[in-house]
Amino acid sequence: MPDLFAVPPIAPVSALNSRQRFAACLAGQPVDRPALWMMRQAGRFLPEYRAVRQQHTFLEMVHTPELALEVTLQPLRRFGMDAAILFSDILTIPEALGMNVDFPEGGPQLSPVIRTAADVARLPSGDCVEKLDYVGQALKLIRAELPHNYVLGFSGAPFTLASYMVEGKGTRTFEGIKTLMYQHPQVFHALMDKLTDSVIAYLKMQLDAGADAVQLFDSWAGELRAEEYVEHVLPSTQRIIQAVHAHGGKLLLFARHTGHLLDASLRSGANGLGLDSRIDLASAAAKAKAVGMAVQGNLDPIELFAPPAHIHARVREMAAATKGCGWIANLGHGVIPSTPIAGVEALVSAVHGLATNSQGGSLHS
Amino acid sequence: MPDLFAVPPIAPVSALNSRQRFAACLAGQPVDRPALWMMRQAGRFLPEYRAVRQQHTFLEMVHTPELALEVTLQPLRRFGMDAAILFSDILTIPEALGMNVDFPEGGPQLSPVIRTAADVARLPSGDCVEKLDYVGQALKLIRAELPHNYVLGFSGAPFTLASYMVEGKGTRTFEGIKTLMYQHPQVFHALMDKLTDSVIAYLKMQLDAGADAVQLFDSWAGELRAEEYVEHVLPSTQRIIQAVHAHGGKLLLFARHTGHLLDASLRSGANGLGLDSRIDLASAAAKAKAVGMAVQGNLDPIELFAPPAHIHARVREMAAATKGCGWIANLGHGVIPSTPIAGVEALVSAVHGLATNSQGGSLHS
């Protein structure tokens, strides 16, 4: 892991732009105030997003760089978020690997499902990046529009992608992927290895296109016991993170329902850990700091429905819990479509309110 | 909390029947082998259940004591489970309180939803037990059939019931119930108080009808942060447990995704804690023992799809993790409909295989 906490500040903290602020938070350096973005900030809770969505299918928006640019910029225009995250989907890799991916009501559908050694062997090996050129194009547009904001790319992590590819859809039981792991571990690992290669190539391409860092979404990793995660998933995560670092990039790791995986995640080498709302922020931030990691999170997205005073109090609580640690303010999961704009405005105002008035000092770090 | 761990064994361990064995496990006393049952063991994974279900709707089966008896007995006949759990549903209380409860494909639907102080005020106060007489009748039949097995009643816990009553259906976001809690805490608590009264009356009735103990399912409690759980939910759980104890009964507390609530749950006063598959069994069992509690769980239901050797190894691992502690072998969540019978047979054989051959000794406790 890079010794991020040893690097001196890149600018006087009183003069940080959003890009510098985010980088400093991720590196555990002093800042004027914490950087802020929200998972799924480019999405259905915004009227301006829904206006675009009315004219285009979800997949058209993902596949068309100019449309992806537009909705990526929307939350920054409205709320002044410090980071932009590429508008895309975690299922771009299965699609680039030749699966049919569709998004009817009720969640994604993938076909034909992957179940056997032959199914895995048929997948094109590793590098599917040429088919994902539209993502690189979108990131180049975003980078050009936002020289002073932090730009995040992202990918689904191999276990999460494998879950979708084996189940063919979202699942509450994970019967298919776990059964494959228990009954045919060599097939499971062949699939994980191919996906790890693809994710690495994809993330390198995103960094080349201008992303400052990438977030790895291992949405379903929390379904595994810690021993299973360490044996079957963590090695691929570590391999991805090493490759991103070797390519000069930084990586944020996020998964839901992962309090039981915190200790394992601290061994991943990630620059920052996205925390689920249920994880105790103070103890996680202290543990992360001890291994040179920042934390990101972890307001419950439903707390954006609470009165503004509640949101302000929780933001102050989170700031106190992460005092002296690298912290990027965010939610503990994606913002949901029915979220009131006023709740997000309260979050923004609360985080901005953490700024100190003194010269170059910082309430937070 | 009763000092269960001080009570002497109720029979020589070499001569325990299932009812005695379960009681001893729950009390942390020596046993010949751990007691075993499975959450949702009376259900769709059994062909004999599906045969009954073909003739009757789900609600007919819940409402008809003879049908509830039949499916309650099925897993004991086939697998020799130590405990029977009443075949019923957690939504009996909302129905008894006058809501329309239906079970179309896609999950339960309740109407009209509860949202306001007036909605809560309209609910009949506390005692809705006369409308739940069919549950008492079913338990009496079960008790009469199974004098030598442990008989478990159950109820949904107030927060979980309130979630269904406010959302009107299952939810992934908990937007309705959490928004009520954040915006109108007094309405939320009025609802929780009414439901707590109802649950207490319901569980006392079940104990009077012959249940040895009751399990309280707080299925959705894990969606809350620990601070929220302690403030808004734990007091009602504690009140229920005190009432059950005052009535001479015992209580098992279960919720999913609750690793972050373990410490709070240890203060509930429950006799036993059902553990999600993701919770580290060894440390949870040690913590529970320190406060005079047993633990129950926590094989991942999907591990029943694994080869028998995997299941046997995991059962030995769980036994080792709970050595010297009160432990009831179970899953970490309900058995799912597609579960192979052979997997359940492997679980049964593995747990039975933990028995010692020596006179009166015990490998486990």
Residues 6+ positions from B248 with CB-CB distance below 8 Å: B207
Residue B15, pLDDT score: 85
Residues 6+ positions from A1 with CB-CB distance below 8 Å: A245, A269, A271, A291, A292, A293
Res. B319: pLDDT tops 70: yes
Q: Is the pTM of this model over 0.80?
A: yes
- Residue A173 to residue B306, Cβ atoms within 8 A: no
Res. B8: pLDDT tops 90: no
- Residue B278 to residue A260, Cβ atoms within 8 A: yes
Give me the tens of pLDDT residue by residue for chain A, a chain 365 residues long: 444 454 445 567 778 999 999 999 999 999 999 999 999 999 999 999 999 999 999 999 999 999 999 999 999 999 999 999 999 999 999 999 999 999 988 889 999 999 999 999 999 876 789 999 999 999 999 999 999 999 999 999 999 999 999 999 999 999 999 999 999 999 999 999 999 999 999 999 999 999 999 999 999 999 999 999 999 999 999 999 999 999 999 999 998 888 999 999 999 999 999 999 999 999 999 999 999 999 999 999 999 999 999 999 999 999 999 999 999 999 999 999 999 999 999 999 999 999 864 333 343 44
**Among A289-303, B22-36, B294-308, B350-364, where is mean pLDDT lowest?**
B350-364
Instruction: Provide the CA A137 distance to its chain's centre, in angstroms.
Output: 20
Partner residue facing B305 (CB), from A178, A280, A307: A178
Helix (H, G, I), strand (E, B) or coil at B331: strand
Residue B230, pLDDT score: 97
Task: Give the whole-angstrom CA distance, residue A140 versus residue A131.
Answer: 16
Which of B220, B302, B286 is CA-nearest to residue B258?
B220
pLDDT tens track for B229-266: 999 999 999 999 999 999 999 999 998 888 999 999 99
Q: Which residue on chain B is closest to A343 by alpha carbon?
A: B179
| Contacts with A259 from chain B: Cβ below 8 Å | 259-260
Mean pLDDT of B319-339: 97
| Contacts with B303 from chain A: Cβ below 8 Å | 178, 182
Helix (H, G, I), strand (E, B) or coil at A365: coil
- DSSP for B97-153 reads TT-EEE--TTS-EEESPP-SHHHHHHSPPS--GGGGHHHHHHHHHHHHH-TTSEEEE
Q: Which residue on chain A is closest to B229 by alpha carbon?
A: A278
Residue A1, pLDDT score: 44
Look at chain A and count its residues. 365
CA angle B64-B65-B70, nearest 5°? 100
Which of B244, B234, B188, B24 is CA-nearest to residue A306?
B188
Task: Give the whole-angstrom CA distance, residue A167 versus residue A161.
Answer: 10
Task: Give the whole-angstrom CA distance, residue B75 versus residue B81.
Answer: 7
Look at chain B and count its residues. 365
To the nearest whole angstrom, how far is the Cα of A10 from the nearest Cα of chain B? 36
Residue A360, pLDDT score: 35
- The token pair at B26 is 């729950």
Residues 6+ positions from A112 with CB-CB distance below 8 Å: A99, A100, A119, A168
- DSSP for A281-299 reads HHHHHHHHHHTT-EEEEEE
| Contacts with B224 from chain A: Cβ below 8 Å | 278
Partner residue facing B305 (CB), from A182, A222, A301: A182
To the nearest whole angstrom, how far is the Cα of A149 from the nearest Cα of chain B? 30
Percentages of chain A per state (helix, strand, coil), in multiples of 5: 50, 10, 35
Mean pLDDT of B58-63: 96
- Residue B173 to residue A307, Cβ atoms within 8 A: no
Which of B326, B308, B329 is CA-nearest to residue B318?
B329
In this predicted complex, what is the ipTM? 0.91
Tally A–B CB contacts below 8 A: 75
Mean pLDDT of B276-301: 98
Res. B42: pLDDT tops 70: yes
Residue B359, pLDDT score: 36
| Contacts with A178 from chain B: Cβ below 8 Å | 300, 302-303, 305
Domains and CATH numbers, chain A: 38-286 (3.20.20.210)
Task: Give the whole-angstrom CA distance, residue A125 versus residue B236.
Answer: 55
Residue A113 near residue A175 (C-beta atoms within 8 A)? no
Residues 6+ positions from A130 with CB-CB distance below 8 Å: none
For the packed helices A133-145 and A185-208, what is the interaxial angle rounded to 10 degrees?
40
Partner residue facing A183 (CB), from B173, B257, B307: B307
Residue A10, pLDDT score: 56
- Residue B300 to residue A225, Cβ atoms within 8 A: yes
Which amino acid type is present at position B217?
A: F
Q: Which residue on chain A is closest to B276 by alpha carbon?
A: A225
Q: What do you get for the CA distance between the two ends of chain A, in Å?
A: 21
- Residue A302 to residue B174, Cβ atoms within 8 A: yes
| Contacts with A174 from chain B: Cβ below 8 Å | 302
Residue B1, pLDDT score: 44
- Residue B301 to residue A173, Cβ atoms within 8 A: yes
Per the model's pLDDT, the better-predicted residue between A1 and B104 turns out to be B104
Residue A335 near residue A41 (C-beta atoms within 8 A)? yes
Helix (H, G, I), strand (E, B) or coil at A8: coil
- Residue A182 to residue B222, Cβ atoms within 8 A: no
Over its C-alpha atoms, chain B yields an Rg (Å, rounded) of 20
Residue B126, pLDDT score: 61
Task: Give the whole-angstrom CA distance, residue A35 versus residue A81.
Answer: 8
How many other C-beta atoms can be found within 10 angstroms of the C-beta atom of residue B165?
27
